[in-house]
Each structure stands twice: as C-alpha cells, then as structure tokens.
Amino acid sequence: MLEPKEAQAARVLGGLNRPPLNLLISTRNSDMPKRFSTARGREFGEGMRAAITNSGLNAREVADLLSWQEAKVSDVLTGKGGVSRLEVALLLGLCRAKADERDHLLELFPERDLSGWWQLHGKCAPVRPRTALTHLAAAETLISWHTHAVPVLLRTAEYERAVLTASATVSVDELDERLRVLQEMQKLLSNGLDCTFYIHELALDLQIGTPEEHIGQLQHLVLMANWKKIRILVVPAAAGAHAGIAGPFTQLKFPKYEPLVWTETENSSLFVETKEAVGGYADVIRALDEVSLDEDESRDLIVRRCVRLQEAGDADGAVQRDSDEPFPSL
C-alpha cells in the first residue's frame, strides 16, 4: 500500500534526510517576486537560522520542545511575526546561543521591520562588519564610489595595511585579522557579483605605502579591470565639481529584495533603504557615469600612471603629471 503523500512528507522532514532549514526556506521563496524586507530583519532571520543549525536540532524538534507548531518556528525565521520577544528568548535559550549573539538578536527583534539602519560602533569600525559581509554575499550587483582612495574591495593587502596603520583608532593588534576579513570580502567578487567601481583620478596619484606598493596597487587595478564582471571607471580631475563630492558609498542590488546603499564613517555604518533615498544615490551614480572615462580610457589612464612611476624610479614615489599630457576625451 502506498504511503499517503502527507505522511511521506512528514516522515522525510522529520527524519535524518531532512534538508537544512535555510534550504527549505530559500527553495520555498525562490520563485517569489521581490518582497518587503529590511537589513535588520534579514540579519535577525539569519541569526536565528544559525542558532538552530548550531544547536543540532531541526525545526520540528525545536517546535516539539517548545510546544509550538512547526509553522511558528518558520514564522520566526521569515519575520512573519506572531511571536513575542520572550518566545524568541526561549528559542535562543533552547538552542544555547552564545550570550553576545543572544543579546544582539533580542535587540534586533523589536526593530526588525524598520527601514534604514545606522550602526554605531564605538571607537572604530568592527573587525568583522557582519551586516556588510552578509549583504555582499547576497547581492547580485554592486556599484561603488570612492572620493579619494581605492575602493576597499580593490585594495591590495599592502595598500590596506598602510591605510590601517595610519588610522588613529584602529589597534595595531587587529591589523592581521582585519586583513584576513578584507580577503574574505574580496573573495565574494569571484562569486558572479556584477561590479562597477568609480574611482577619482586623484586616488591614483595618492601614494599609499611605499613607491613599490603604490605601483603594485595600480597594477592590481589593471588586473581587476580585466575581470569579466568588473568595470573600473575613473572620474578625471578635469571634471572639477561632480555629483559624488559628498562622499563614498556602495549600492547593492539583490535578486529577492529591494536595493540598499551602504556608507561608512570612522566609527559608524549606515544602511540606507528607503526608496526615495536609494533613488537619490541612483541619481548620483548616473551623474558620475556621465563624467567618468569609459572602461578602455580608464584602464589606459591607470596603465600610464603605472608606467610613469616605474620609469621615474623616484625614491619618494611622487607622481609628476606632464603639463602637456591631455586627459583622455570624455
């Protein structure tokens, strides 16, 4: 006699062959249109899923131990509501979540549906920017602009070490760990992420590190510009005032939810999510695109800077611009 479909499904979900809970949820939503979601809500959901996974329990076991319906556990993870802060605390206690993670998730819970997230970090940015890493991993498109330096995701280890060493707030003891996190972030560029980086020409001239490290950074930019899904566009100094003067930012777009913009200061991060504000940054991107060099012109400009530094062999690494050298045409 054939087993009823309902019983068969229940047996599979409750047994050893049950897929991970996050796989079930992602499969369920794979064909859904973009839905309302916030950075806070996504981080809360990911944290709760991780807590259950790390406990070694599955959703049915958690539900049984808490005397809940299994659907209620799913509602907690997908942010549908229907649970209290106390119930979330009970779930985290059951999963034996670490104290700092428990406190973080309980703090997020009441505000998980709020758009926009200003994160205050204290003296300096955290070694591991959790929210940024999570959203970089989930993004399908990245557009980044930096006013005076090479964007973080395009920096060599030597360049970043020099930047961190010059910081007034970053501890020297954290340098190696911060560099490891940078490498982790940069690996996401090879996961099919479609990237456009706008860099001001003056960032190419600014020597960060030794002259050799400066040249190495320019060579790295040329190498990255040859990647299939990476575009590097230079905003020439001849453009003068431009729409990006207000400061650096990164726009991220996702396959399942609305885009956001990520900006950083010395000791805080801002994740902009409201439609009007994100649209304003989209206007800035369009304006930057109008004044920047195209991909070939940008690559040629970087190569010329690199060759000139190599030929000069100047001990102080200073970059001298030939007075009669024109900028590439816009």
| pLDDT over 80 at 9, yes or no | no
Tell which wins on pLDDT, 265 or 9. Answer: 265
Q: What is the mean pLDDT of residues 87-111?
A: 93
pLDDT in tens, 116-138: 999 999 999 999 999 999 999 99
| Cα(117)–Cα(123) distance, integer angstroms | 18
Give the distance from CA 239 to its chain's centroid. 29
Q: Span 272-282, mean pLDDT? A: 96
pLDDT tens-place string over residues 215-240: 999 999 999 999 999 999 999 999 99
Write out pLDDT tens, residues 147-175: 999 999 999 999 999 999 999 999 999 99
- Kindly tell me if the per-residue pLDDT of 328 is higher than 90: no
Encode pLDDT of 35-62 as tens digits: 568 999 999 999 999 999 999 999 899 9
Q: What are phi and psi of 194, to 5 degrees?
A: -90, 115
List, in sequence order, every beta strand (DSSP E) within 254-319.
260-264, 268-272
Which of 75, 78, 102, 82 lies closest to 90, judged by CA? 102
Q: Is the pLDDT of residue 68 over 70?
A: yes
Cα dihedral 55, 59, 61, 65 in deg (nearest 10): 90
Whether 317 has a pLDDT exceeding 80, the answer reads no
- In the chain, what percentage of residues exceed pLDDT 70? 83
Q: What's the rounded mean pLDDT across residues 72-95?
A: 87
Q: Which two tokens stand for residue 8?
A: 């068969």
- The predicted pLDDT at position 35 comes to 57
At what angle are helices 211-225 and 295-312 packed, to 10 degrees? 160
What is the CATH class of 35-111? Answer: mainly alpha
Residue 32 pLDDT exceeds 70: no
Sorting pLDDT into bands at 50, 70 and 90, what band is 313? confident
Strands of 230-235's sheet in order across = 117-120, 268-272, 260-264, 249-253, 141-146, 194-200, 230-235
Confidence of residue 4 (pLDDT cuts 50, 70, 90): very low
Check pLDDT > 70 for residue 210: yes
Whether residue 235 contacts residue 200, with contact meaning beta carbons closer than 8 Å, is answered with: yes
- Correct CATH for 117-312 of 3.30.870, 2.60.40, 1.10.287, 3.30.450: 3.30.870
HEC string for 92-115: HHHCCCCHHHHHHHHHHHHHCCCC
Closest CA to 262 of 253, 271, 254, 252: 271
Fold match between domain 35-111 and domain 117-312: no
Domain ranges of the chain: 35-111, 117-312
Confidence of residue 34 (pLDDT cuts 50, 70, 90): low
Q: What's the mean per-residue pLDDT of the chain? A: 85
pLDDT (average), residues 197-226: 96
